[in-house]
Chain A
Amino acid sequence: MIVAEGKPVEKILEMVAPFKKVLIAGCRGCVTVCLTGGEKEVGILASQIRMARSKDGNPIEILEQTEERQCDAEYNAKFLENVEQVDAIVSLACGIGIQYLGEKYPATPIFPGVNTLMLGANIDVGKWEERCMACGDCVLDKTGGICPITRCSKSLLNGPCGGSQYGKCEVSTPAKEDIPCGWQLIYDRLSALGQLDKMKEIIPSKNWLRAKGPRTYVREDLTLDRS
């Protein structure tokens, strides 16, 4: 899923400072699952902003609405009634949702209430880890199902580099961030699968054009013939 973290309230207060009536828009997709931008978080943020603003003697009116997905035009249409009443929107969806909702209502300024972090998995309570960077040319078949682009700090295709030791990446600091060496993980997995020979193959240079936007994806079989 797409993992996001909430922005500090102070930052959001700065963004909405000029406005008197604001909509906070949540999303029931990934950001609900990672407990950052669902109905509950919309409610919490709304109260925080209301409180802060009344304390400053500058009250603000806040509307709250959460829909199924903000990366979907159909659901975004449902925000219409509320959007028409406000000066600005704060979206708690991922970067895609924020932009897509903004595109739907171009006359209303929209602000990010979250920092979109990664495509990751919830590996433990309150802990997420990145697993994919959407590079556009998946090499998991060569690397035992573990992504070198994401899990190696240098995205090396022929690792591990000389900094790998005791299973840790060279950027890992026990005090701060404990980062496993992605290539050690690949080695261990291939070893367990009896496929270590794969590590002997040189993986050629990558076509990063596939990994770099703006990317579009068209499926002729699904597009509507509008002629």
Chain B
Amino acid sequence: MTEANDKPEVTLKSGSALEKTYVSGQFVCTGEVGPPMESSFHHVELFGNAMKGRVDSINLTDNQTAMTRLSSWAAAVKLIQMGLEPNLQMVCRDRNRLAMQSDLLGAYALGVRNVLCLSGDHQSFGNHPGCKGVYDLDSIQLINMVKRLRDDGCFECGAECKNNPKFFIGCAENPFGDPFEFRAVRLEKKIEAGADFVQTQCILDMERFVLFMERVRERGLHKRIYISPGLMPVKSAKMARYMQHGVPGMLVSEDFCQRLEKAENGKIAALDLTVDYIKQCQQIEGVSGVHVMAVAWEEVVPLVVEKAGLLPRPFAPFADNPAPITDEIKAMWAKAKVDGYLARN
């Protein structure tokens, strides 16, 4: 870790805390908030606050699972107002290149520095299944568009963009999708297109992820992109089983399901599993951090992060002064019977 600090100063592409942490060689830890299906920032504020000083950057999902939600850029700006660092997710499903670039200009002007480029779940999964899916660009073309805006100062059409946005560019990759042999190659395509970091689909099958990382290292990709595996505390054994069979592109190992099934307290076991997976990821060559994506269970991120020994965060806003846990969050912990989690051995 210190070695990286001794390196001559590198020019940062965006200057975000996320980028600084990756570049410094310190282990990155990011969180995620799914904006709500209502016109209110309560949810974003509540969970943003819970993660304040405990993660380097917070992803804001973009109409996650194709459900209409408060816009990711508005939620990102809310986090900036709170002094936090957002990572703006952007999917290709809902907007064409005009709208995406216009949102990128606006988001950057309002202080957003990280963007995560995704294809997006198919619209038929969501609450407007008959809507028109846009897919003007795919995720790889989107990555390249953001890179050209940053590095060439030009729009997708080639025309000059003054005061061009300089984002730290993220992508996703799914080590559990098929064809497996192609997944590392596809990551390489994303690197070629301009991705600086990748947050993977959540790891619920460690063996497969380890295999994926082997492929990544064979191609030397870990030297060209920062890699944060996604880690998801899964609330119940039932949910793990559902994800094992019912969610396309996901693999959940038998071991993962059984550890939840056999546990006396499933919620505690879920947190333990996540912490355990984080520690395993730290041992894998080429992994630069973890992305804690507690989907619909955001309140446990502070517990997981602290238990995994990831505090204090080196460059995160409020790192030396994490926000106190609010009563509302404490009540949520108590309800799920995880309130004593940090005191456990």
Residue of A162, A168, A172, A202 with most partner-chain B CB within 10 A:
A162
Tell whether A170 pairs with B249 under 8 Å between CB atoms, given A160-B178, A208-B136: yes
Contact B135 A163 (CB under 8 A): no
Q: How far is the CA of A38 from the CA of B178 in the complex (A)?
A: 43
By a CB distance below 8 angstroms, the chain A residues around B188 are 200
B137, B178, B188: residue with the most chain A Cβ atoms closer than 10 Å:
B178
- Does chain B have a CB within 8 A of A65? no
One of A154, A159, A160, A205 near B122 (C-beta < 8 A) = A154
Chain B proximity mask over A156-183: 1 for CB below 8 Å, otherwise 0? 1111111111111111100000000100
- Considering only CB atoms, which chain B residue lies closest to A172 in the complex? B248
User: Within the complex, what minimum Cβ distance (angstroms) separates A101 from chain B?
Assistant: 29
A163 near B140 with CB under 8 A, answer: no
CB of B23, distance to nearest CB on chain A (Å): 26
Asked if B189 and A202 make an inter-chain contact with CB atoms under 8 angstroms apart, the answer reads yes
Q: Are the C-beta atoms of B141 and A162 separated by less than 8 Å?
A: no
Are A205 and B178 neighbours in the complex by a CB distance under 8 Å? no
A205 B179 Cβ-Cβ under 8 A: no
Chain B: residues with Cβ within 8 Å of the partner, total of 37
Question: Does A157 lie within 8 Å of B249, measured CB to CB?
Answer: no
A153 close to chain B: CB less than 8 A: yes
Return the CB mask of B111-136 against A: 1 if under 8 Å, else 0: 00000000101101100000001011
Question: Does A48 interact with chain B (Cβ within 8 Å)?
Answer: no
A156 interface neighbour in B135, B182, B185, B249, Cβ under 8 Å: B135
Chain B 174-200 residues near chain A, CB threshold 8 A: 174, 176-179, 182, 185-186, 188-189, 192-193
Contact between B177 and A161 (Cβ–Cβ < 8 Å)?
Answer: yes
Chain B neighbourhood of A205, CB < 8 A: 97, 136-137, 141, 145, 156
Give complex CA distance A208, B98 in Å. Answer: 13
Return the chain B residue nearest A159 by Cβ: B138
Question: Which of chain B's residues 302-342 have a Cβ closer than 8 Å to chain A?
Answer: none
The bracket for how many chain A residues form the interface is: 20 to 34
Which chain B residue lies CB-closest to A200? Answer: B185
B299 in contact (CB, < 8 A): no
In the assembly, what is the distance between CA of A168 and CA of B247, in Å?
Answer: 12
Contacts of B139 in A (CB 8 A): 156, 158, 161
Please state if A163 and B182 are interface contacts (CB–CB under 8 Å). Answer: no
Q: Does A2 contact B (CB under 8 A)?
A: no
Evaluate whether A158 and B140 lie within 8 angstroms (CB atoms) in the complex, with A165-B249, A170-B122, A171-B124 already known: yes
Q: Mark A134-155, 1 if CB is under 8 A from B, else 0.
A: 0000000000000000000111
Give the residue name and chain of the B residue nearest to A188 (CB).
Answer: B179
Given known pairs A163-B248, A164-B178, A165-B176, the reply for A202 and B192 (CB within 8 Å) is yes
**Is B138 in contact with A156, judged by CB distance below 8 angstroms?**
yes
Are B119 and A154 in contact, with the CB atoms below 8 A? Answer: yes
B173 at the binding interface (Cβ < 8 Å): yes
User: Is B144 at the interface (CB under 8 A from chain A)?
Assistant: yes
Q: How far is the CA of A205 from the CA of B138 in the complex (A)?
A: 8
Q: How far, in Å, is B210 (CB) from chain A's closest CB?
A: 19
Contacts of A154 in B (CB 8 A): 92-93, 119, 122, 133, 135, 138
| A170-B122, A184-B178, A205-B97 known; A162+B156 contact, CB < 8 A | no
A–B pairs, 13, beta carbons within 8 Å: A153-B122, A154-B133, A154-B138, A160-B186, A161-B249, A162-B173, A163-B177, A164-B248, A165-B248, A165-B249, A170-B121, A205-B97, A205-B136
A residues engaging B (CB < 8 A)?
153-172, 181, 184, 187, 199-200, 202, 204-205, 208
